[in-house]
Amino acid sequence: MGVTVLVGTQWGDEGKGKITDLITGEYDVVCRYQGGANAGHTVIANGHRFGLHQVPSGVMYEGVVPVIGNGCIVDPQILVEELDMLAREGIPTDLLKISGNAHLVMPYHKDLDGANERRLGKNLIGTTRRGVGPTYADKASRLGLRVQDLQDEKVFREKLETALAEKNPILELVYGLPTYTVDQITELYRPYAKRLQPYIVESSRYLNDAIDAGKSVLFEGAQATMLDIDHGTYPFVTSSNCTAGGAITGSGVGPVAIDRVLGIAKAYLTRVGSGPFLTELPQGDPIGEMLCEVGHEYGVTTGRKRRCGWYDAVVVNYAARVNGLTDLAITKLDVLGCLDEIKICVAYEADGVRYETVPEHQSIFYRAKPVYMTVPGWKCDISGCRSFFELPREAKDYIDLIEQLSGVRVSLVAVGPDRDETIDRHWR
Query: Binding residue for ligand GDP (CB under 6 A) from 127, 148, 203, 331?
Result: 331
Say whether residue 370 binds ligand IMO (CB under 6 A). Answer: no
103 binds ligand IMO (CB under 6 A): no
Site residue total, ligand GDP (CB under 6 A)? 22
From 67-75, 349-357, 373-381, 411-419, span contacting ligand GDP (CB under 6 A): 411-419
Cα–Cα distance measured from residue 162 to residue 137, given in angstroms and rounded to the nearest whole number: 15
**Cβ contact 219:261 at 8 Å:** no
Which of 36, 40, 245, 252 touches Mg ion by CB under 5 A? 40
Bridge partners, 48 (sequence order): 45
Applying the rule CB under 6 A, the residues between 183 and 222 that interact with ligand IMO are: 222
Strand ranges, E, within 210-337? 217-220, 260-266, 269-271, 307-309, 311-312, 327-331
User: Is 271 within 8 Å of 307 (Cβ atoms)?
Assistant: yes
With CB cut-offs between 5 and 8 Å by kind, which of ligand IMO, Mg ion, ligand GDP, none does residue 334 bind?
A: ligand GDP
| Residues facing residue 35 across a β-bridge | 72
Which DSSP letter does residue 42 get?
E
CB closer to ligand GDP, 8 vs 370: 8
Cα 292 to Cα 184, 297, 326, 345, distances in angstroms: 43, 5, 30, 19
Among 32, 41, 167, 419, the residue binding ligand GDP under the rule CB under 6 A is 41
- Measured in whole angstroms, how far is the alpha carbon of residue 261 from the centre of its chain? 15
- Binder of residue 296, out of ligand GDP, ligand IMO, Mg ion, none (CB less than 5 to 8 A by kind): ligand GDP
Residue closer to ligand GDP (CB basis): 16 or 97 = 16
* Nearest-angstrom CA–CA distance, 111 and 316: 35
Distance linking the first and last C-alpha atoms of the chain? 9
CB of 90 to Mg ion, least distance (A): 24
From residue 300 to residue 319, the character string flagging contacts with Mg ion as x (rule: CB under 5 A) and all else as - is: x-------------------
Length of the chain: 428
- Please state, as a whole number, how many other Cβ atoms lie within 10 Å of the Cβ of residue 148: 18
CB of 240 to ligand GDP, least distance (A): 15
**Using the rule CB under 5 A, is 13 a contact of Mg ion?**
yes
The residues annotated as belonging to the active site are 13, 41
List residues near ligand GDP by CB under 6 A: 8, 12-18, 40-42, 44, 296, 300, 331-332, 334-335, 414-417
